[in-house]
């Protein structure tokens, strides 16, 4: 992958694999809502066109809660939530759990804290 913004990622067991074009020089979101807090998710958001699911799409389990607008998808084998799908005013988006990207140094990321707990 010669494009520095093109990253591969997936779940722990490898059943779910994807590629995403994401600029990790931009802040990633550390949300404190109930699900992000419990799973330790760090989120990067991209338009759906910048995400390509390579494998595992037919086995993903969908979890909706609260306002039921974000599809929290997880691997039914290992339980890892490596991405979610939703809608922004600009169109379909993917929320990538950057902890699930291969070979990303988390210490080099800039975090933007988001208070999802009090929405």
> Long-range contacts of range 57-62, CB-CB < 8 Å, 24 or more positions apart?
57/16, 59/15, 59/16, 60/16
CA 97, chain centre distance (Å)? 3
Phi, psi of 118 (to 5 degrees): -105, 25
Is the pLDDT at 23 greater than 80? The verdict is yes
In sign, the C-alpha dihedral spanning 102, 107, 112, 115 is positive
Map out the domains of the chain with their CATH numbers.
6-118 (2.170.150.70)
Mean pLDDT of 77-100: 94
Distance (Å, rounded) from C-alpha 4 to C-alpha 33?
A: 30
Whole-model pTM? Answer: 0.91
In the chain, % of residues over pLDDT 90: 77
pLDDT at 1: 52
Q: Where does the pLDDT of residue 18 fall: very low under 50, low under 70, confident under 90, or very high at 90 and above?
A: very high
């Amino acid at each position: 992958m010669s494009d520095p913004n093109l990253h591969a990622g997936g779940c722990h067991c490898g059943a779910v694999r994807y590629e995403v074009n994401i600029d990790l020089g931009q802040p990633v979101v550390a949300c404190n809502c109930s699900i992000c807090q419990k799973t330790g998710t760090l989120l990067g958001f991209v338009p759906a066109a910048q995400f390509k699911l390579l494998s595992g799409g037919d086995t993903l389990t969908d979890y909706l809660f609260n306002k039921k607008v974000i599809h929290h998808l997880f691997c039914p084998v290992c339980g890892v939530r490596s991405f979610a799908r939703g809608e922004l005013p600009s169109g379909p988006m993917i929320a990538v759990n950057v902890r699930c990207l291969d070979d990303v140094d988390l210490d080099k990321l800039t975090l933007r804290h988001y208070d999802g707990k009090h929405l």
